[in-house]
Structure 1
């Protein structure tokens, strides 16, 4: 049952071998050398702000997000260990972990699993969730001393995109280009 995709053929072969293996315990994972085309990701949750730049960098859709809540998901069977996510991460929170994961007869490596999740930040105007608490608080801390983000401008960073635009255009004290 050779497939057009080499990884799909390998998955079929691994599934067949696992099904035919004797009834002895199968290891959960087999460590592979560096630069192997199979593996997982290790994430330092203390550093990660859930910016999801790694998701955009992944050419094989091994990394994904959840549109409902701030989550970083990983599908191990898609990962080719190229390292683009590691290089792209601005927080230096990711590391490659080469291995062949055989847990649950190999079914687990085909399902997306949550690597990291956080509480969403709620807009101070409408309450709609957006971003993460850690990311917004970090941005507020970094921009607090910047001259362009004082007073109302700093408060707008706590708003969702819709409320931010509405606030900007309805503020009577906002300096307009025509006033200059």
Structure 2
């Protein structure tokens, strides 16, 4: 769906602030889920800088502004891919961070989170970049298959096949039944 105000904002430098206001927080959250929160702020800002500088190349006929921004953010995340994989591996080794709850609750939370976070982090680190991008755009960005295809510049069928392969790998890694 193309939102006229978004399209006009992308093309018109004076109105680009509307795109920023409408989508910044969502893009920052997506990046924060993929990378460290400290990096999210910088990469979200860089996403909008890249979008602003490339706004004349935005083609509303190809899709909406939101997936275009997710595509830019995903490309920037790709530059940080090695750090992302290292982060998942470190999370898998370290387990959850301690919090300020009582000792008993921390023990229960720690045991449950170690199993979940560690196994999921290892499983995500084992996916190919393309599979991980698709999974996290769907899971964290809550994008539709069409929007993921737009964001990554790939075919709808490629999104479906990457997601299917990733799900199978994740199920196997996490010990779930694969049918």
TM-score using structure 2 length: 0.29
Bigger Cα Rg: 1
Q: Which of the two has greater helix per residue?
A: 2
Normalising by the residue count of structure 1, what TM-score does the alignment of the two structures yield? 0.29
Q: Which has the higher strand share?
A: 1
